[in-house]
């Protein structure tokens, strides 16, 4: 698995379900988690059922990647920043359960640390207060007050996704660069010269096109199509 500058560890306390664990291991491979620690799991973490639901991540279902420990303290050893998670948020007087959001965690806090651990509790009852107190921070994923408790693997997915996009260049397309956008703006200006008589209106229109181009972030392919479309319009106007 490709290593990053920041080391990311998932810690699962008292895991009760092989299916959930399989899904979490799959997510770990999806988002390049460096290691998984299991604290007193209630299931066999290396079972065929776990491997089945890990899908192609079954290759990392081994003691080399997944470490079983008897205490949360051991699972957090060597970590610069630890965050415990729960769907239960405390009252104004319950400081232990005053949460940060995943977005706040990954954008404002994570960049300052070289190793982090995200701790998830049992599927049935989550983490105890004593376990929450062992972490540096408490995190909760905002959800509907009608049903705010997420499935374990779903919570893991949300947090790992936030971590991933905050630390990776996750471009799914190649954006048009400034010269390509300038070429579109130039031909738009030439069209405006042909069809708009009022100089004030023409200037405002060109400014609007410029703002749209640089704000919208079109892909290179989209920008190319728009340019050739405008070129055909100009050619038609020119006769």
Q: What is the pLDDT of residue 93?
A: 81
The answer to whether 127 and 87 have CB atoms below 8 angstroms apart is no
> Each residue of 119-150: b (16+ CB within 10 Å) or e?
bbbbbeebbeeebbebbebbbbbeeeeeeeeb
State the sign of the Cα–Cα–Cα–Cα dihedral 84, 75, 126, 133.
negative
Q: Is 171 a residue whose pLDDT tops 80?
A: no
Is the pLDDT at 65 greater than 80? The verdict is yes
Handedness of CA 161, 19, 10, 148 (dihedral sign): positive
How far is residue 25's CA from residue 10's CA, in Å, rounded to a whole number?
Answer: 10
Q: Would you say residue 2 has pLDDT above 50?
A: no
For residue 134, give the nearest of 76, 187, 184 by alpha carbon: 76
Q: pLDDT per residue over 74-128, tens digit each?
A: 999 999 999 999 988 878 788 888 889 999 999 889 988 899 999 999 999 999 9
- Dihedral pair phi/psi, residue 176, rounded to 5°: -65, 140
114-152 tens-digit pLDDT: 999 999 999 999 999 999 999 999 999 999 989 989 999
Q: Domains in the chain, ordered, with CATH?
A: 7-167 (3.40.1280.10), 178-238 (no CATH)
pLDDT score, position 178:
85
Contact, 157 vs 33, CB < 8 A? no
Backbone angles phi, psi at 39, to 5 degrees: -100, 115
């Amino acid at each position: 698995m490709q290593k990053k500058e920041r080391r990311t560890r998932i810690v699962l306390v008292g895991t009760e379900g092989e299916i959930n664990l399989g899904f979490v291991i799959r997510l770990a491979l999806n988002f390049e988690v460096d290691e998984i620690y299991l604290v007193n799991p209630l299931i066999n973490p290396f079972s065929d059922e776990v491997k089945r639901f890990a899908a192609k991540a079954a290759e990392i279902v081994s003691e080399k990647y997944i470490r079983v420990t008897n205490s949360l303290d051991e699972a957090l050893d060597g970590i610069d920043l630890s965050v415990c998670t729960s769907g239960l948020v405390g009252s104004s007087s319950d400081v232990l359960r005053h949460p940060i959001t995943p977005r706040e965690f990954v954008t404002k806090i994570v960049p300052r640390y070289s190793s982090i651990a995200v701790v998830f509790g049992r599927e049935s009852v989550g983490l105890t207060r004593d376990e929450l107190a062992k972490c540096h921070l408490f995190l909760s994923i905002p959800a509907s007050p009608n049903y705010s408790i997420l499935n374990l693997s779903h919570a893991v997915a949300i947090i790992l996704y936030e971590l991933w996009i905050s630390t990776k260049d996750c471009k799914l397309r190649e954006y048009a660069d400034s010269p390509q956008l300038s070429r579109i703006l130039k031909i738009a200006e030439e069209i405006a010269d042909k069809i708009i008589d009022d100089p004030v209106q023409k200037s405002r229109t060109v400014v609007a096109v410029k703002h749209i181009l640089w704000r919208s972030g079109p892909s290179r392919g989209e920008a190319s199509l728009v340019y050739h479309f405008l070129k055909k319009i100009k050619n038609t106007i020119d006769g």
